[in-house]
Chains A and B, each alone.
Chain A
Amino acid sequence: MNLTGVDNLLWALSFIGHWILLAVLVLRRRAGFFPVFTALISFNIVRTIMLFFTLRLGSRESYFYVYWTLAIVDVGFQLAIAYELASKVFRPVGSWVPDVRRSFLVIAVASVAVAGGMTWLAAPPATTLQTAIVIRGDFFASALMSEVFVAMVALSVTLGLPWRTHVARLAQGLGVFSIYGIFTGAAHSYLAADPVVQSFRLLSRARIVLYLGCIAYWSVTLARKEPEPRKMPEQLRDELRRLQGRAALILKSLRTLGSAS
């Protein structure tokens, strides 16, 4: 695979961008709050180095296997990040909001089914099995992640759960990148997915540019402070518990009435 100057530039920018983002995560002490996201960024740095040397020193086949193996790890990380962000949104006081865990599981299963169905429909005009797998795998991951992020937004708005600033910014970036991934995946399935084809290169470059935008967006927003959630006084919490306890007693007597009649 021959890389042009533009490809090398994008690769270098992506590498530098990841280092900057990692530095922000560590220096601004965000890594502890987003351990999976931090691990993904570190993984991307390692991936860039591995692919760089495999491309220059290895064969076309070895590049494919390294690329694909790392891509599977990447999808695993993305799913783990979706869970990490969901746990921040749907577990604001340490425990999951009732019914949400089940809803989230149902959504995840439905998302896998829909993404799987769409991927099955795709008929990439790939010349090799390897290319077909890459195109389908890429499309599947993008479709799945887009569905999960849209479902998270829908569920949180329905429940009235606010998103903390940093969580929202990470999800926005990942969501936009995933939805664009569906476009490129669909286009790759329709057009030829060969790096020598101009359209393939353009779409892939546009995707990398978008990802660079996401890295810059995350670096800036994570470097900034977010408003700290306020704490309710202990006395207020006690008073609310007392009132809820009384309401529970009344409702219990209602249930007794209901079972007696």
Chain B
Amino acid sequence: MREIVFLVAAGIFVTALLGVAAYFLLRARRISRNAWSAMLGRLKQIDRDKFTTVALDLLEEEGVLQEHLDPEMIFEMIGGMKGLDALEANCDVLVDLATYVQQWYPEALLLAEGLRLNAREIKWHIGRLRGAAKTGHMQEQFPMYAQRAVATYYLMTRSLLVLYEGVRLPELAELRHAI
């Protein structure tokens, strides 16, 4: 009886190992084949110009804006929580876009990890805003939180563009258009 139990357990064990290995190897192959178009396809639609304006309002880049945006305008320009939901989803894509470069430039790992940490923190703050929305305090907290999240997202996109441009990847033009 024990032999049978052992053989069944060993069969399940080997099948599970092979299954997990096959799943991840196929996933890796799929990523390397369709990575680029698939990643760009995951980007959610945001109004890039408005997001940039909101970000630069905080980052105070010289000569871009003289007056600061008022909170209502920030809410409107970002598109409320829907805009932040899209930003949250796009953060993951930005991390993957940095990871994509690692196959040629292992040092891109440092940026990918940096973006991963940024994304994690942005998501945490967006989560807080969702909590505030439930208690009816979102309207007052939204502009401060959201503008900083958008500014960080903007810097993440800038970092990616700088990376792609710096290593002269042919995908740069498409990336510029997408983010």
Chain A: residues with CB nearer than 8 A to chain B?
A: 92-93, 97-98, 114, 118, 121-123, 125, 143, 146-147, 149-150, 153-154, 157-162, 175, 179, 182-183, 186, 189-190, 229-233, 235-237, 239-240, 243-244, 246-247, 250-251, 253-255, 257-258, 261
B28→A92 contact, CB < 8 A:
no
| Candidates A92, A158, A230, A243; contact of B158 at CB < 8 Å | A243
B99 at the interface (CB under 8 A from A): yes
| Candidates A229, A233, A235, A246; contact of B155 at CB < 8 Å | A246
B109→A92 contact, CB < 8 A:
yes
Contacts of B125 in A (CB 8 A): 254, 258
Quick one: which of B1-49 are within 8 Å of A by CB? 2-3, 5-7, 9-10, 13-14, 17-18, 20-21, 24-25, 27-28, 31
| Candidates A98, A183, A243, A250; contact of B58 at CB < 8 Å | A250
| Candidates B20, B104, B163; contact of A154 at CB < 8 Å | B20
B114→A244 contact, CB < 8 A:
yes
A123 to B4, CA, bound (A): 10
Contacts of B108 in A (CB 8 A): 232
B121→A246 contact, CB < 8 A:
no
B13→A236 contact, CB < 8 A:
no
B109→A254 contact, CB < 8 A:
no
B59 at the interface (CB under 8 A from A): yes
Given contacts A121-B9, A150-B20, A190-B3, contact A229 B111 (CB under 8 A): no
A182→B102 contact, CB < 8 A:
no
Chain A to chain B contacts (Cβ below 8 Å), 30 pairs:
A93-B109, A118-B10, A122-B6, A123-B2, A153-B24, A157-B24, A158-B24, A160-B31, A160-B99, A161-B109, A162-B102, A179-B17, A182-B13, A189-B3, A190-B3, A232-B105, A232-B167, A236-B166, A239-B162, A239-B166, A240-B159, A247-B152, A251-B122, A251-B152, A254-B125, A254-B145, A254-B149, A255-B121, A257-B145, A261-B141
B16: nearest residue on chain A (CB-CB)? A150
A159 to B112, CA, bound (A): 10
B106: nearest residue on chain A (CB-CB)? A92
B36 → A minimal CB distance (Å): 13
B113 at the interface (CB under 8 A from A): yes
Given contacts A97-B113, A160-B112, A243-B155, contact A236 B10 (CB under 8 A): no
B130 at the interface (CB under 8 A from A): no
Contact size class for B? Answer: 35 or more
A143 to B149, CA, bound (A): 46
A150→B167 contact, CB < 8 A:
no
Contacts of A189 in B (CB 8 A): 3, 6, 10
9 closest Cβ contacts across the A-B interface? A236-B166, A160-B99, A92-B106, A186-B10, A247-B155, A157-B24, A243-B159, A162-B103, A121-B6
Contacts of A246 in B (CB 8 A): 59, 155
A147 to B14, CA, bound (A): 10
B17→A147 contact, CB < 8 A:
yes
A258 to B144, CA, bound (A): 10
A158: nearest residue on chain B (CB-CB)? B24
Given contacts A161-B102, A190-B6, A258-B125, contact A236 B167 (CB under 8 A): yes
B166→A233 contact, CB < 8 A:
yes
Contacts of A161 in B (CB 8 A): 102, 109
B5→A121 contact, CB < 8 A:
yes
B108 → A minimal CB distance (Å): 7
A149 to B5, CA, bound (A): 25
Contacts of B107 in A (CB 8 A): 92-93, 231-232, 237
| Candidates B27, B118, B148; contact of A157 at CB < 8 Å | B27
A258 to B122, CA, bound (A): 12
A239: nearest residue on chain B (CB-CB)? B162
A248 to B24, CA, bound (A): 33
Contacts of B141 in A (CB 8 A): 261
A154: nearest residue on chain B (CB-CB)? B24
Contacts of B152 in A (CB 8 A): 247, 250-251, 254
Given contacts A147-B17, A240-B111, contact A162 B6 (CB under 8 A): no
B104: nearest residue on chain A (CB-CB)? A230
